[in-house]
A = this chain, B = another copy of it.
Amino acid sequence: MPEGSKFMSECSNLICEGRPRAVGLLGGGVIGGGWAARFVLNGVHVRLYGPSPGAVERVRKILANARRAYRRLTVFPLPAEGTLTVVQSVADAVREVELVQESAPERLELKQQLLAEAGRAAAPGTLICSSTSRLRPSLLQAEMDHPERLLVAHPFHPVHLLPLVELCAGQSTAPDALVRAAQIYRSVGMHPLVVRKEVDGFIANRLQEAVWREALWLVHDDVATVQEVDDAARYSFGLRRPILGPMQTYRMAIPHQSARRAMELFGPSLKSGSSRLTEVPELTDGLLDKLAKQLDAQSENLTVPELEQKRDDCLVAMLQGLRGQGYSAGETLSRWEQGLRDRVLPLNNGPGPLRMPTQQMPSDWMDYNGQVTESCYVQLFGNATGTLLRYIGIDDEYRSKCGSYQMVESHLFHLRSLSAGERVQVLTQVLGADDKRLQLFHVLSRVGDEGPAATGEQMLLHVKAGTGRSGPVQGNVREKLLALARLHAELPRPDRAGASIELR
């Protein structure tokens, strides 16, 4: 069976770096769709079994939204997308995959049955994970032939952007299964967290439920509307939340004392706690009406799909901010990008300029007038330069031993305005290179347009590792660069190369 053996050999290669070749998804709801998006956009093939009505359409829509978010999430080119294959049975979904992810409705019997069926049909060694947010893994694995391969891997909505996945083993789970699952989720940009004991609701949802119960009381008692409750959270402790969890928040509220003393000082306030402890409000018709009315009013001018895009855009912007700080979820994003950055892209090596991957103009580089700002061009041309440098062999090793190129001069022309969402491409030509210097000319165009939207000419200098001073380019990188420069010397020189700014 050639297909099978090819699969096995690819698979063994890929298990090394953690990223699976293919996964099987059971369930095509909001969570299953989020998993599909995360895997496909990370280059993993997905086999989807989603029996609920509208599942396929829903998943495709989630994937389209996620694609949009990922294009803005990172400046580095994403891997080639995995395929999304819709199948008609559990057995078909779990064939030749390294991981099965079940995201069916939260009914124990349904899940037990699906998982047992998946276990019988999957190859030995296939991991089987459940996305359940509340059912204990020991119950889920009760009906399985090989319960040792099952664990809970509970993600958060939207799965394609939130990094947490809570891993929880049942009584029969093999310890190795947790390790392999963590590798797989890490390889697609997630932060796996092992829950130390089997408890209902695991960790994050217990915290979240506590807030929600209190929020319901505040609305029930007319202390605040739904919008006011949300604003109170969003504009205060909620802003700290991606940075500081609940424990560190309280510790830092009393910065001048030891951690122990800080905890002790919060003791009395807990005792006289002001939140409602003991009750859950009855979801009467009256309370439901009130909630619904206020929720609808709150999002008056945005539909739920629009809100979802807004949420994703804000998440992307915050993740990028945190990445700049190398902290919290920004660290997870950095690690993932490191992998993207270090891939060497196959660029065309023919007679023309180097063709960079096409990309979509993001809206966060638009100015007040909806036009692209200079920073956007700087970023696009900077990326193209980065891609070219990787292409001639500048990697982490070269950087640490020999050095790299630094920008000394750049000249931009803004020629046509671009709008958010337009697909663009950069063509890059080496205008000249010697032992130390490298002169590049980038042309940015809308895909399908003839004329350029902007051009960028750059002069870079090779700087010796650790010195901050210029020094000659070395070894294979030098060879590859000079060969490229010779090839590009035969191209026509762009009109705007060597231009100067003048008010005639």
Contact A234 B274 (CB under 8 A): no
- Range of interface residues on chain A? 35 or more
Find chain B residues with CB under 8 A from A250 CB. 212
Q: Are B260 and A288 in contact (CB under 8 A)?
A: yes
Interface residue? A123 (CB, 8 A): no
Shortest Cβ gap from A366 to chain B (Å):
9
Interface string of A206-241 (1 = CB under 8 A from B): 111111111110110111101011111111111111
B246 touches A233 (CB 8 A): yes
Contact A278 B280, beta carbon cutoff 8 Å: no
Give the chain B neighbours of A229 by CB distance below 8 A.
203, 207, 245-247
- CB pair B314–A321 under 8 Å, yes or no, is yes
For the complex, is A351 an interface residue (Cβ under 8 Å from B)? no
Partner of A307, one of B191, B252, B319, B329: B252
Residues facing B in A428-470 (CB within 8 A) are 431-434, 437, 439, 457-459, 468
- Given the contacts A247-B295, A325-B313, A378-B375, A235 and B437 also touching, CB distance less than 8 Å: no
Q: Find chain B residues with CB under 8 A from A205 CB.
A: 274
Picked from B212, B318, B320, the residue with its CB within 8 Å of the CB of A270 is B212
Given A196-B222, A203-B229, answer yes or no on A242-B248 (Cβ-Cβ < 8 Å).
Answer: no
C-alpha spacing A135/B269, complex, angstroms: 12
Q: Collect the chain B residues with CB atoms within 8 Å of residue A166's CB.
A: 232
Q: Closest approach, in angstroms, between the C-beta of A57 and any C-beta of chain B?
A: 11
- A328 at the A/B interface (Cβ < 8 Å)? yes
The answer to whether B134 and A243 touch across the interface, beta carbons within 8 angstroms, is no
Enumerate chain B residues within 8 angstroms of A316, measured Cβ to Cβ. Answer: 321
Segment with Cβ contacts to B, from A7-15, A18-26, A85-93, A408-416? A408-416
**Shortest beta-carbon distance, A140 to chain B, in Å?**
16
The answer to whether A246 touches B382 (Cβ under 8 A) is no
Please measure, in the bound complex, the distance between the C-alpha atom of A70 and the C-alpha atom of B206, giving whole angstroms: 36
- CB-CB under 8 A from A279, the residues of chain B are 277
A157 at the interface (CB under 8 A from B): yes
Type the 1/0 row for A286-328, where 1 means its CB is closer than 8 Å to any CB of B: 0011011011101100001101101101111111111011011
Q: Verify A246–B503 contact, CB threshold 8 A.
A: no
Name the B residues within 8 Å of A502 (CB-CB).
439, 498
- Please, which residues of chain B bring their CB within 8 A of the CB of A310? 243, 325, 327
Q: Which residues of B contact A328 (CB under 8 A)?
A: 234-235, 314
Residue of B whose beta carbon sits closest to that of A381: B374
User: Is A201 interfacial (CB-CB < 8 Å)?
Assistant: yes
| Ranked 5 nearest A-B pairs via Cβ | A230-B245, A201-B274, A317-B321, A260-B292, A238-B241
A263 beta carbon closer than 8 Å to chain B: yes
Q: Enumerate chain B residues within 8 angstroms of A295, measured Cβ to Cβ.
A: 247-248, 251, 259, 262-263
- Asked if B191 and A243 make an inter-chain contact with CB atoms under 8 angstroms apart, the answer reads no
B255 contacts A245, CB within 8 Å? Answer: no
A249-B382 Cα distance, complex, nearest whole Å: 38
Q: Is A80 interfacial (CB 8 A cutoff)?
A: no
Tell whether, in the assembled complex, residue A234 and residue B224 are in contact, meaning their CB atoms are under 8 Å apart: no
Q: Would you call A259 and B296 a contact (CB within 8 A)?
A: yes
How many protomers of this protein does the assembly include?
Answer: 2
Question: If the complex has contacts A237-B204, A409-B501, A498-B500, are A196 and B224 also in contact, measured as CB distance less than 8 A?
Answer: yes
Which residues does chain B contribute within 8 Å of A273, judged by CB atoms?
A: 201, 209, 213, 280
Chain B residues near A410 (CB-CB < 8 A): 374, 411-412, 501
- Closest Cβ–Cβ distance, residue A399 to chain B (whole Å): 8
| Of the residues B230, B241, B305, contact of A239 by C-beta under 8 Å | B241
Q: Which residue from B201, B408, B503 sits with its C-beta under 8 Å from A459?
A: B503
16 pairs, CB–CB < 8 Å, chain A vs chain B: A196-B222, A197-B221, A206-B218, A208-B237, A216-B270, A230-B247, A233-B245, A234-B244, A271-B280, A316-B321, A317-B318, A374-B382, A374-B407, A375-B379, A378-B378, A498-B501
A164 within 8 A of B: yes
A476 at the interface (CB under 8 A from B): no
Q: Provide the bound-state CA to CA distance between A164 and B229, in Å.
A: 12
Q: Is A199 an interface residue (CB 8 A)?
A: yes
Q: Are A242 and B245 in contact (CB-based, < 8 A)? A: no
A127 vs chain B, min Cβ distance (A): 21
Report chain B residues within 8 Å CB of A16: none
> Roughly how many angstroms separate A371 CA and B406 CA in the complex, as a whole number?
10
Question: In whole angstroms, what is the CA distance A216 to B207 when docked?
Answer: 10
User: Does B253 contact A157, Cβ atoms closer than 8 Å?
Assistant: yes
Residues of B within 8 A of A291 (CB): 247, 259-260, 263
Minimum C-beta distance from A198 to chain B (A): 9
